[in-house]
Amino acid sequence: MNEKSAESPLDSPPASGLPERYVEIEYTVEPNYAGWRLDRYLGEKLRRLSHARIQRIIQRGLFCEHRLKPSTLVYPGLTFRIRRNMSAEPETPTELPTVFQDDWLLVLDKPAGLPIHPTARYQKGTLVSLLRERFGERFAEPAHRLDRETSGLVVCGRTTEACRVLGRLFLSRDVHKEYLAVCEGHPPEDTFTVDAPIAEGTELIRIAVRIDRTEGKESRTRFQVLQRFVRDGAPFALLRCYPETGRQHQIRIHLHEAGFPLVGDKMYGPDPGYFDRFSKHALEPEAWARLRLPRHALHAAHIAFPHPGTRQPVSFDSPLPADLVDFMAGKPLAPGPEDAASAA
C-alpha cells in the first residue's frame, strides 16, 4: 500500500470553498483474492463501510488504468488507488517482531492495536504499511487476518505461489490454530465446546456477528481451562481455544454465548452499548473500569500447517503477551484510553 497527501476537491467542493486534504491509498490485489468481485474485495479491506458506500467509492473515488466496476473480477497484481478525505489517524504500534522467515514464509507476532489492512480509519498504521516501509513492495502479504485488538501470530506469503497455497490451506481448514483468552467467570468444566451457527451483522452493529440457528453457518469451538483466578474480587479464567471453523469473531461470540465473555470485549462483552460509544470516542470511565482492559484479551498463540514450499509440517508459537500476564498477576491496570479508536 502506498499513499500520498494532496490538496484537491474530491467528489464535490467542500462547503467552505477551500480545497480539502486527502490521502490516496494504493491497493494491489493479493493472489488469495483472485476471482473476487471488486466490491467484495473492498468490503473485506474496508469492513466498517457499508456496501452502498463502497459502491460510491468505486464509482467516484477509485483510480485505475482500466475502468473498474463493482462487479469487476479482480486478479493478482491488479493495482488501483482510492482517494479518501484525510482525518487524524490514531497512533498504532510500530514494532513488528519476526518469528520465522524463509524464501516462502514470513511469520510475525502482531502486537495488539495494530490493524492488518488499511481500513476507513487506519491507512499508515497497519501491518501491511509497516511491511512496505521496512522491506519494500511485494516482500510479503498476510495470508489471513486478526482483529486489530487481537495479538499474536500472522502468517505471510513471500511469493505468489506461497500466497496461493496458503490461501487454499486456510480455506480448506488445513491450518490448525490455537488461541489464548482471558474470560470473565469460572467455567465449571475443565473442557467445554460451543457448537453454535454464526451469521453476519446485527441490528445495532453491521460488522458484528450473531448466533443464528436458522441462517447461521456451522461454527464450533473447543475450550480448555488452563487456570482459574480471582482479581479484585471477581472470577476470571485463562482458556486455550481451538476453533474448528474459521468464522469472523468466532471465539468472541462463542464465549459470549457460553456466558464467559472475553475481558475487555466492547462488542460481545458486558454491555452491547459499549461498542457504539467506544466508536464515537464517548465511552465513559465507568465503562472502561467494567471492561478492565483497553483491548479484548485474545491472543493467537499457536499455528501449524504444511509448508507451502516443502509441504512438510511447520508450527509456530507466541507466548502470552505482557499486558495479559500482568492482568492475571493482579498488577495495576493502565487507565482507559482517553481517545479510543474504533475497533476492527
CA–CA distance, 74 with 88 (Å, rounded to integer): 31
Q: What is the mean pLDDT of the chain?
A: 84
Least confident range from 74-78, 118-122, 179-183, 247-251: namely 118-122
Position with higher pLDDT, 141 vs 205: 141
Report the pLDDT averaged over residues 274-287.
64
**CB-based burial label for 81 (10 Å; 0-12, 13-18, 19+):** middle
Q: Please state, as a whole number, how many other Cβ atoms lie within 10 Å of the Cβ of residue 28.
A: 16
CA–CA distance, 208 with 189 (Å, rounded to integer): 28
Least confident range from 16-25, 134-143, 256-265: namely 16-25
CA–CA distance, 157 with 176 (Å, rounded to integer): 17
Active site residue 147: yes
Instruction: Identify the DSSP state of 175.
Output: -
Q: pLDDT class for 202, splitting at 50, 70, 90?
A: low
Q: Is the pLDDT of residue 154 over 80?
A: yes
Helix-helix angle 51-60:38-45, to 10 degrees: 110
Q: pLDDT class for 344, splitting at 50, 70, 90?
A: very low
Q: Is the pLDDT of residue 230 over 90?
A: yes
Q: Where are the beta strands (DSSP E) in the chain?
A: 3-7, 21-28, 62-63, 79-85, 98-101, 105-110, 141-142, 151-157, 176-184, 191-195, 198-200, 209-211, 220-231, 234-243, 298-306, 313-317
Q: What is the pLDDT of residues 187-201, one digit of tens each?
A: 999 999 999 999 887
Position with higher pLDDT, 202 vs 304: 304
Q: Is the pLDDT of residue 340 over 80?
A: no
Active-site annotation holder among 109, 147, 265, 323 = 147
Report the pLDDT averaged over residues 56-77.
87
The predicted pLDDT at position 59 comes to: 83
Pairing mode, if any, of strands 151-157 and 298-306?
parallel
The predicted pLDDT at position 210 comes to: 86
The predicted pLDDT at position 18 comes to: 36
Q: What is the pLDDT of residues 77-134, one digit of tens each?
A: 898 888 766 566 778 899 999 999 999 999 999 999 999 987 767 777 899 999 988 8
CA–CA distance, 307 with 104 (Å, rounded to integer): 8
Least confident range from 113-117, 273-277, 309-313: namely 273-277
Angle at 86 between CA 151 and CA 53, to 5 degrees: 80
For residue 81, the cross-strand partners are: 26, 63
Cα-Cα-Cα-Cα dihedral sign, residues 219, 73, 50, 266: positive
* 181 within 8 A of 298, measured Cβ to Cβ: yes
Which domains, and CATH codes, for the chain? 22-85 (3.10.290.10), 98-337 (3.30.2350.10)
The residue whose grid cell reads 501491518 is 127
Ranked by mean pLDDT, which of 108-112, 160-164, 287-291 comes out on top? 108-112
